[in-house]
Protein backbone atom coordinates (compact mmCIF):
# COMPACT_ATOMS: atom_id res chain seq x y z
CA UNK A 1 0.00 0.00 0.00
CA UNK A 2 1.29 3.50 -0.72
CA UNK A 3 2.65 5.35 2.32
CA UNK A 4 0.08 8.16 2.18
CA UNK A 5 -3.17 7.86 4.17
CA UNK A 6 -5.43 8.56 1.15
CA UNK A 7 -3.62 7.39 -2.00
CA UNK A 8 -5.23 8.61 -5.21
CA UNK A 9 -4.79 8.12 -8.92
CA UNK A 10 -5.37 11.45 -10.64
CA UNK A 11 -6.41 11.53 -14.30
CA UNK A 12 -6.63 14.47 -16.70
CA UNK A 13 -9.80 13.78 -18.69
CA UNK A 14 -12.37 15.37 -20.94
CA UNK A 15 -15.02 12.80 -19.95
CA UNK A 16 -18.08 14.05 -18.06
CA UNK A 17 -19.47 12.85 -14.73
CA UNK A 18 -22.38 11.29 -16.63
CA UNK A 19 -20.02 9.38 -18.91
CA UNK A 20 -17.84 8.19 -16.02
CA UNK A 21 -20.92 6.92 -14.17
CA UNK A 22 -22.35 5.28 -17.30
CA UNK A 23 -19.23 3.12 -17.70
CA UNK A 24 -18.49 2.67 -14.00
CA UNK A 25 -15.12 4.37 -13.99
CA UNK A 26 -12.42 6.30 -15.75
CA UNK A 27 -11.44 6.47 -19.37
CA UNK A 28 -8.80 4.01 -20.67
CA UNK A 29 -5.26 4.66 -19.42
CA UNK A 30 -1.84 3.09 -19.66
CA UNK A 31 -0.97 2.34 -16.06
CA UNK A 32 0.59 -0.21 -13.79
CA UNK A 33 -2.46 -2.21 -12.71
CA UNK A 34 -0.62 -3.87 -9.80
CA UNK A 35 0.23 -0.42 -8.48
CA UNK A 36 -3.19 1.00 -9.32
CA UNK A 37 -4.99 -1.72 -7.36
CA UNK A 38 -3.23 -0.48 -4.20
CA UNK A 39 -4.79 2.97 -4.47
CA UNK A 40 -8.09 3.87 -2.81
CA UNK A 41 -9.29 6.88 -4.78
CA UNK A 42 -9.67 8.08 -8.35
CA UNK A 43 -9.66 11.85 -8.86
CA UNK A 44 -10.79 13.18 -12.24
CA UNK A 45 -9.55 16.61 -13.35
CA UNK A 46 -10.98 18.49 -16.34
CA UNK A 47 -8.65 18.53 -19.35
CA UNK A 48 -10.24 21.53 -21.04
CA UNK A 49 -10.72 19.80 -24.38
CA UNK A 50 -14.28 20.10 -25.63
CA UNK A 51 -15.43 22.20 -22.66
CA UNK A 52 -19.10 23.10 -22.69
CA UNK A 53 -21.16 25.48 -20.57
CA UNK A 54 -21.44 24.16 -17.04
CA UNK A 55 -18.18 22.19 -17.16
CA UNK A 56 -15.64 22.97 -14.45
CA UNK A 57 -12.65 25.04 -15.61
CA UNK A 58 -9.60 23.31 -17.04
CA UNK A 59 -7.44 21.74 -14.31
CA UNK A 60 -10.29 21.51 -11.79
CA UNK A 61 -10.91 18.31 -9.87
CA UNK A 62 -14.57 17.44 -10.46
CA UNK A 63 -15.03 13.86 -9.26
CA UNK A 64 -13.58 11.64 -6.54
CA UNK A 65 -14.33 7.93 -6.73
CA UNK A 66 -13.57 4.97 -4.47
CA UNK A 67 -11.60 2.50 -6.59
CA UNK A 68 -13.19 -0.95 -6.76
CA UNK A 69 -10.96 -2.52 -9.40
CA UNK A 70 -8.96 -2.19 -12.60
CA UNK A 71 -10.03 -3.85 -15.85
CA UNK A 72 -8.12 -4.32 -19.09
CA UNK A 73 -9.29 -3.08 -22.46
CA UNK A 74 -9.36 -5.27 -25.54
CA UNK A 75 -5.79 -4.21 -26.43
CA UNK A 76 -4.55 -5.46 -23.03
CA UNK A 77 -2.44 -2.33 -22.54
CA UNK A 78 -5.00 0.22 -21.45
CA UNK A 79 -6.93 -0.08 -18.22
CA UNK A 80 -10.15 1.37 -16.84
CA UNK A 81 -10.19 2.30 -13.17
CA UNK A 82 -13.56 1.14 -11.85
CA UNK A 83 -15.28 2.94 -8.99
CA UNK A 84 -18.02 1.82 -6.61
CA UNK A 85 -18.86 5.21 -5.08
CA UNK A 86 -18.31 8.80 -6.15
CA UNK A 87 -18.54 12.37 -4.92
CA UNK A 88 -18.58 15.45 -7.08
CA UNK A 89 -16.19 18.24 -6.11
CA UNK A 90 -15.14 21.61 -7.49
CA UNK A 91 -11.46 22.20 -6.76
CA UNK A 92 -9.86 24.67 -9.18
CA UNK A 93 -6.19 24.17 -10.00
CA UNK A 94 -5.96 20.60 -8.67
CA UNK A 95 -4.18 19.55 -11.86
CA UNK A 96 -0.72 21.14 -11.78
CA UNK A 97 0.16 20.74 -15.46
CA UNK A 98 1.92 17.40 -15.07
CA UNK A 99 3.09 15.92 -18.36
CA UNK A 100 1.54 12.47 -18.00
CA UNK A 101 -2.30 12.39 -17.90
CA UNK A 102 -2.12 9.85 -15.06
CA UNK A 103 -0.52 10.71 -11.73
CA UNK A 104 -0.15 8.68 -8.55
CA UNK A 105 -0.80 11.07 -5.68
CA UNK A 106 -2.69 11.62 -2.45
CA UNK A 107 -5.93 13.43 -1.67
CA UNK A 108 -4.11 15.83 0.67
CA UNK A 109 -1.76 16.94 -2.15
CA UNK A 110 -4.87 17.90 -4.13
CA UNK A 111 -6.52 19.75 -1.24
CA UNK A 112 -9.23 17.11 -0.79
CA UNK A 113 -10.42 15.95 2.64
CA UNK A 114 -12.30 12.64 2.22
CA UNK A 115 -14.20 13.20 5.49
CA UNK A 116 -15.93 16.18 3.90
CA UNK A 117 -17.16 14.22 0.87
CA UNK A 118 -20.63 12.74 0.48
CA UNK A 119 -20.15 9.55 -1.51
CA UNK A 120 -22.98 8.11 -3.57
CA UNK A 121 -23.15 4.62 -5.10
CA UNK A 122 -22.25 4.35 -8.76
CA UNK A 123 -25.33 3.18 -10.70
CA UNK A 124 -25.25 -0.35 -12.07
CA UNK A 125 -23.39 -0.41 -15.37
CA UNK A 126 -25.20 -1.99 -18.31
CA UNK A 127 -22.98 -4.17 -20.52
CA UNK A 128 -20.01 -4.24 -18.13
CA UNK A 129 -18.88 -0.71 -18.93
CA UNK A 130 -17.61 -1.48 -22.41
CA UNK A 131 -18.90 0.65 -25.24
CA UNK A 132 -17.93 0.04 -28.84
CA UNK A 133 -16.84 3.65 -29.34
CA UNK A 134 -15.21 3.88 -25.92
CA UNK A 135 -12.92 0.87 -25.72
CA UNK A 136 -9.32 1.39 -26.85
CA UNK A 137 -8.59 0.58 -30.46
CA UNK A 138 -6.23 -2.14 -31.57
CA UNK A 139 -2.66 -0.96 -31.96
CA UNK A 140 -2.12 0.66 -35.34
CA UNK A 141 -5.83 1.33 -35.93
CA UNK A 142 -6.61 4.66 -37.53
CA UNK A 143 -9.12 6.78 -35.66
CA UNK A 144 -9.81 9.37 -38.37
CA UNK A 145 -7.30 11.98 -37.16
CA UNK A 146 -7.98 15.40 -35.68
CA UNK A 147 -10.10 18.26 -36.82
CA UNK A 148 -8.46 21.68 -37.10
CA UNK A 149 -10.51 22.84 -34.08
CA UNK A 150 -9.39 19.86 -31.95
CA UNK A 151 -5.75 20.53 -32.89
CA UNK A 152 -6.11 24.23 -32.01
CA UNK A 153 -7.68 23.37 -28.63
CA UNK A 154 -4.93 20.93 -27.79
CA UNK A 155 -2.13 23.26 -28.87
CA UNK A 156 -3.69 26.22 -27.03
CA UNK A 157 -3.87 24.11 -23.88
CA UNK A 158 -0.31 22.86 -24.25
CA UNK A 159 1.18 26.32 -24.79
CA UNK A 160 -1.17 28.30 -22.55
CA UNK A 161 -2.48 30.61 -25.27
CA UNK A 162 -5.92 31.40 -26.68
CA UNK A 163 -7.21 29.15 -29.47
CA UNK A 164 -7.44 32.10 -31.83
CA UNK A 165 -3.68 32.63 -31.38
CA UNK A 166 -3.03 29.27 -33.07
CA UNK A 167 -2.59 29.24 -36.86
CA UNK A 168 -2.40 25.94 -38.69
CA UNK A 169 -1.07 25.76 -42.22
CA UNK A 170 -1.56 22.62 -44.27
CA UNK A 171 0.57 22.16 -47.37
CA UNK A 172 -0.12 19.33 -49.66
State percent of the chain over pLDDT 70.
Answer: 80
**Mean pLDDT for the stretch of residues 53-82:** 87
- 125/64 Cα distance (integer angstroms): 18
Beta bridge partners of residue 61, listed in sequence order: 45, 91
pLDDT in tens, 123-148: 988 665 554 444 444 333 334 556 77
**Mean pLDDT for the stretch of residues 74-79:** 85
**Mean pLDDT for the stretch of residues 84-100:** 92
Q: What phi and psi, each to the nearest 5 degrees, are found at residue 108?
A: -60, -40
Q: What is the pTM of this model?
A: 0.72
Q: What is the CA radius of gyration of the chain?
A: 17
Q: What phi and psi, each to the nearest 5 degrees, are found at residue 121?
A: -70, 145
- 69/84 Cα distance (integer angstroms): 9
pLDDT band at 168 (very low <50, low <70, confident <90, very high): confident
Q: How is the chain split into domains, by residue range?
A: 7-129, 141-172
Instruction: Find out whether 79 and 33 touch, Cβ atoms under 8 Å.
Output: yes
Q: What phi and psi, each to the nearest 5 degrees, are found at residue 34?
A: -65, -45
Amino acid sequence: MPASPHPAIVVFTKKSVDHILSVGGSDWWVLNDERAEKYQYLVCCRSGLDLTDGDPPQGSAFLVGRISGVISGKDGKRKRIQISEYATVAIPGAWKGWRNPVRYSDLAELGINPKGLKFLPVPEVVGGGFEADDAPEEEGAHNGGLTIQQAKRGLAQTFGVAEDAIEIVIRG
